A and B are shown apart, each in its own frame.
Chain A
């Protein structure tokens, strides 16, 4: 049975953990390995932190929507904000590029999201918002059905 969920929360940093926990619970059905799970949590954390920090500058008012879908062994997660958008997406995706170096942001978010997922799509419109979508197939270690 496939599954789907939507979670919407305000743009404050404590909700980064909330998003990770929700996705962890959502994919538990697939019995992910420890590495699969921790890599996927990292991707979620990067995407949600970006929405909170860059999309809304942690204003505590803007809403971040996380949508997750499971089809067989494939999980697709979208993280959507209606914040300020990304001026130049390809530049933002370069390793070590950051607009918030004063906040000690490393500029590694998109590199990590790209490396730890099978497919990554970033759609952004300046002053209108950003949607980051990533897909991952879980191989997991399954017991054979007797």
Chain B
């Protein structure tokens, strides 16, 4: 399991996930992601799932957990480019409305649009 964190603005972080995201992988990366979020003034997380080859409900737990951490700042979540199977998993879990098919840049601009508009 590999991942990259990038602060694209003061409020927006992009998290790129690679490989397989299961319970084992989540346990390895949750702390690091959580710490990064709390260090900045993050209010938007863009999860770039394009490089992810597999995800089970542990991924849902990871996303929901971070959404909870951002609740106090009315945070926003974008699930960018999930696979067909991941789409179903997010739909079952009530996260379907946060999914987006776009480039990272488009997603970042979309977030800016919401903030400014």
Q: Which residues of A contact B (CB under 8 A)?
A: 13-14, 16-17, 20, 35, 38-39, 41-42, 45-46, 49, 52-53, 95-96, 103-109, 111-112, 115-116
Cross-chain pair count, CB within 8 angstroms: 75
The size bracket of the interface on B is: 20 to 34
Task: Write the nearest CB–CB distance from A86 to chain B, whole angstroms.
Answer: 16
**Secondary structure class of chain B's binding surface, majority of residues:** helix
CB atoms of B61 and A105 under 8 A apart: yes
Task: Write the nearest CB–CB distance from B37 to chain A, whole angstroms.
Answer: 14
Distance between Cα atoms of A68 and B8 in the complex (Å): 46
Q: Which residues of B contact A (CB under 8 A)?
A: 20, 22-24, 26-27, 30, 54-58, 60-62, 64-65, 83-85, 88-89, 92-93
Distance between Cα atoms of A38 and B30 in the complex (Å): 23
CB atoms of A112 and B56 under 8 A apart: yes
Which residue from chain B places its CB closest to the CB of A44 in the assembled complex?
B56
Chain B hits for A38, CB < 8 A:
54, 83-85
Distance between Cα atoms of A53 and B56 in the complex (Å): 14
Which residue from chain A places its CB closest to the CB of B85 in the assembled complex?
A38
Tell me which of B23, B60, B85, B92 contacts A49 (CB under 8 A): B23
Chain B hits for A107, CB < 8 A:
57
Which residue from chain B places its CB closest to the CB of A15 in the assembled complex?
B24
CB atoms of B57 and A112 under 8 A apart: yes
CB atoms of A115 and B92 under 8 A apart: yes
CB atoms of B30 and A104 under 8 A apart: yes
